[in-house]
Amino acid sequence: MDFELPEEYRAFRDMVHRWVDAEVPKEWARKLEADEHAYPFALWDKFTEAGFHGVGIAEEFGGQGGDVLMQMLLARELARSLGGLAWIWGITSFAGSKSIGLYGSDEQKKKFLPLIATGQLKAAIAFTEPAGGTDLLGAMTTTAERVDGGWKISGEKIWSSSAHVADYLLVIARSDKAAEKKHQGLTLFWVPTSTPGVKITPLAKLGMRSMGSCSIHFEDAFVPDELVLGEPHKAWYMLLPTLNNERIMVGAFCLGVIDGVLEDAVDYMKQRKAFGGIIGRFQSLQHYVADIATMQKTTELMMMYCADKQSQGEPVGVEANMLKLMASENANQAADLGIQILGGMGYSAETDMQRYWRDSRLWRIGPITNEMVRNGIAESLGLPRSY
C-alpha cells in the first residue's frame, strides 16, 4: 500500500499552493469576505486565468483533465486561504462539470462544458426546499409538469449559493406525482436563470457571506426538453455518485481549513509574547496545536482514501459520509481551538480564525446534517432505519 502521491499530483499540489499564496492570500480573502453583499467576481476571474474551472473536465471539451483526486487537491489548497470562498470554484464544478460530465447528453457536453472550463458559465445548485432541509425527498413540493416541448416548474428552493450571479441552476423537481416511492419520479433540469417565472432573492447568513445564498421561486417556469439532464423521472439514481463527490469535496475543503488554522496558530504562538516569553511555550496551547495537527492528518488520510476509491470507480458512499462527518467536525473544532489560541485576536475580524469557524460551521449542517450521516452509517452496519 502506497500512501505517497504520484509525482504528477505532487507537482500540481505544489503549484496550486504557490499560486494561492501569491494570488489569493488570506488578507485578500478577508477583504472579499468583509463585504457580504458583493460577489467576488475578481476571485472567479483569477480561477479562470489559472485554468482551475477546467480541472476535472476532459481536454476534448476544453478542460485541463484530471480525476477526482486532483480536484480534491485543488479544493484543499484553495480552502487553506479562502475558507468557504473556495466554493466559488466548487459549486460550478459540482453543478456544472460533474453533473453534465456524468449524465449530460453529447450535445449538452459539447455546448456547456467548454463554457464552464473557460469560466464563461456560472452554475448554482437548487435542491433544498424551505420546509425540507435534509429531508429533501420527503418534503419536496417543487413540481415539473409535462407540457408541449418541455416542462413547467413551480415551487421554491432555498440556500442556493451563488444563484444570484449564476447563468444556470441545477434543479431537481418531482415530475411524477404517482410514483410509488419518494425517491422515484424525480427529474433533473438545467434551468437558465433568465427564464421567465424564476425569481432569485439573496439571504443574509452567518458565514460564506460574499458568495451569497438565495431563495428561488419558480412559477410556471418553462424548461425545454433539451435542458433535461439524463432520463426523466430517474434523477435520484443518477445523482447518487455525484452526491458522494460533493461529500468528498466538503472533506477536502474542511481539510484546507484545518491547514489554514494550523498555519496561523503555530505562527501566532511563535510570535505572541506574554508572561515573559512566547506563548508557544505554554503546555496547554501546545496540546491544542497537537490536537489540530492530529485532526489534519486523520482527515487527510480519509480524504485521500475516498478520492482514490471514487477515481477508480469503486463504491464509496459510506466512506464519503464518514469523511464528511469527521472532516466537518474536525475543521470546526480546529477553528474553535484556533480562536482560543489567539484569544481576543481570534475573535477579531482582523484575523482569519473567526472566518474559518463561521465557514466550517455550515459543513456540519450541509449538504447533509451530521446527525443524518450518523443515521446512515449505523444503518449500513445492519441497524434498523431510524427515520
Domain assignments of the chain as residue spans, ordered by start = 7-122, 124-234, 236-380
The domain made up of 7-122 has a fold known as Butyryl-Coa Dehydrogenase, subunit A; domain 1 (1.10.540)
pLDDT at 336: 98
- 34-79 pLDDT, tens digit each: 876 789 999 999 999 999 999 999 999 999 999 999 999 999 999 9
Query: In the block, which residue shows the cell 460533493?
Result: 246
User: In 3-state terms, what secondary structure has residue 157?
Assistant: strand
CB 311 within 8 A of CB 69: yes
> Hey, which CATH number is domain 236-380, 1.20.140.10, 1.10.3720.10, 3.40.640.10, 3.30.1360.70?
1.20.140.10
pLDDT at 280: 97
H or E segment to which residue 144 belongs: strand 143-147
- The pLDDT of residue 1 is above 60: no
* Residue 38 grid coordinates: 458583493
The CATH number assigned to the domain with range 124-234 reads 2.40.110.10
- 22-36 pLDDT, tens digit each: 999 999 999 998 876
Helix ranges (DSSP H) in the chain = 7-23, 26-34, 41-50, 68-82, 87-92, 99-103, 106-117, 235-271, 283-311, 317-342, 353-362, 370-380
Query: What is the C-alpha to C-alpha distance for residues 320 and 338, in angstroms, rounded to an integer?
Result: 26
CB 68 within 8 A of CB 245: yes
- 162-177 pLDDT, tens digit each: 999 999 999 999 999 9
Using CA atoms, how far residue 135 sits from 15, 183, 186, 364, 372, in Å, is 40, 11, 15, 16, 9
